Amino acid sequence: MDYRSLDIKERQADDVTVLKLSGQLTMGLASSGLKEQLDAAVAQGRRHILLSVAELSYIDSYGLGELVACLTTVKKSGGALKLAGPTPFVRDVMRTTRLDTLFETYGSEEEALASFNEPTN
């Protein structure tokens, strides 16, 4: 994989669609597939989305905007989007931009997947 590109692998874990992101989420053609892939999942009625970002090595302002656009799409559909396994770099960028207050973030995929089954208040 080209280190400047974004690779997205999709799988189902019960009723949760897991999108595993590897590489860099930055401005450019490589990143443009995330929102489209998420839109397709939502159009198919999938409302629980987990973005696994443990292998996301870099994110810029464009990438952050793409994450926010994904969150907005899922919330408008009545669903939930969560993040799992952010690297220290991604966690720091999210904290600095205060986007950590918008996203439910978990240390691992397992924790995040379990959270979809917890009752909401």
* Confidence check: pLDDT of 70 > 60: yes
Kindly report the pTM of this predicted structure: 0.90
The SS3 call for residue 18 is strand
**CB-CB contact of 52 with 72 (8 Å):** no
pLDDT of residue 33: 85
Q: Let me know if residue 120 belongs to a domain.
A: no
pLDDT at 3 over 60: no
pLDDT at 1 over 60: no
Over pLDDT 90: what percentage of the chain?
Answer: 83
Domain annotation covers residue 121: no
Instruction: Report the pLDDT value the prediction gives residue 2, as an integer from 0 to 100.
Output: 46
- State how far the Cα of 109 lies from the Cα of 66, in Å rounded to an integer: 21
CATH of the domain at 66: 3.30.750.24
119 within some domain? no
**Is 77 inside any structural domain?**
yes
In a domain, 1, yes or no: no
Residue 109's pLDDT is what? 97
* Residue 92 within a domain: yes
Domain count of the chain? 1
Looking at the chain, the whole-number percentage of residues with pLDDT higher than 70 is 91
* Cβ atoms of 56 and 48 closer than 8 Å: no
Q: Closest Cα partner for 94 from 51, 40, 46?
A: 51
Q: Is the pLDDT of residue 73 over 60?
A: yes
State the residue range of the domain holding 19: 6-113
Q: Average of pLDDT values for 83-92?
A: 96
Residue 121: per-residue pLDDT? 45
Contact between 61 and 26 under an 8 Å Cβ cutoff? The reply is: no
Q: Is 42 a domain residue?
A: yes
pLDDT in tens, 13-56: 999 999 999 999 988 755 568 999 999 999 999 999 999 999 99
List the structure tokens of 72: 């907005």
